[in-house]
Structure 1
Amino acid sequence: MDQRLITDLKAAIRSIPDYPKPGVVFRDITTLLGDARAFRRAVDELVHPFAGGRVDKVAGIEARGFILGGAIAHQLSSGFVPIRKKGKLPHETVRIAYSLEYGVDEMEIHTDAIGQGERVILVDDLIATGGTAVAATQLLRQMGANIVAACFIIDLPDLGGAKKLRDLGVEVRSLVSFEGH
């Protein structure tokens, strides 16, 4: 990816200092989503390595992963699967618990969402510590998915999440990175 595109995408992302707590800089992609050109370019860049290949499903992590994942699935002519917080899906689900900074949460997926051996791309807006993405990876694998890659607009490499996914054998693609938290 060329440096100008990286610069343009970074410029489309709003940085909010001291949110949700002092010392943290929140990377807000709603400004990128609201910029038609930046949104299109981000989706195109995330799709590009997989165009022409077989991707059966795109799994998006609630909530911004739904927006990106839906657009990516559309471009790849793939199905879309939502990975949601506990209690949000209306049918039978498979669930996994995972650690958060301040406790434990659970995410789930419909039992019939992924077929054995289906090729799946995992999508979210940002990879930080990797807790949510690692749990989603484990959940998808539990269902028999072959995870082709995990894709993010933003990587915060200092927090180590992308490395955790790579250590699980998952290819990680991100468009921009920001140092720090």
Structure 2
Amino acid sequence: MEVITTAIPDVVIIEPKVFGDERGFFLESYHQQKFRELTGVTSDFVQDNHSRSKQNVLRGLHYQIQQPQGKLVRVVLGSVLDVAVDIRKNSETFGKWVGYILSANNKRQLWVPPGFAHGFLVVSEQAEVLYKTTDYYAPQYERSILWNDPDIGIEWGLNDDPIISAKDAQGQRLKEAEVFS
């Protein structure tokens, strides 16, 4: 397993060691001891989530203002542009974003720490995303930042409007959103 740093130091890409031959491949998708040693993250994961979406579906930008969740995200079918936005008011990278292609082919994972909004855009015909969280889903604390907030300026690479949920359409702009201090 290798850790690749990003423009926001707290967000990292995890690249697993893949053992492949004519039969297929094997990889460790998660190894607690190695993950902790390489990232310094000591939180336990308490919930696994699995979503399936069709092309051009955009989910996010989600976070929980209480019971914040760190997320270890990977794709097992297709590919997505996975995005993390720093919403920690006192951070040097507040309001900045990073985005990376995660796919079944590249087998990379993205660590999105608590204090970040998270979202993804499906860029393949369909995609299945698995992610581990460091806290339980708490709908009463869930918040959403508008996916196309001009103050953040995420470059989604869209040619058409994405398919979003009614809830995500009601997301707030970062300057109006409840964020972490």
TM-score clears 0.5: no
User: Higher RCO, 1 or 2 (CA under 8 Å, sep at least 6)?
Assistant: 2
Higher share of residues assigned strand: 2
Higher share of residues assigned helix: 1
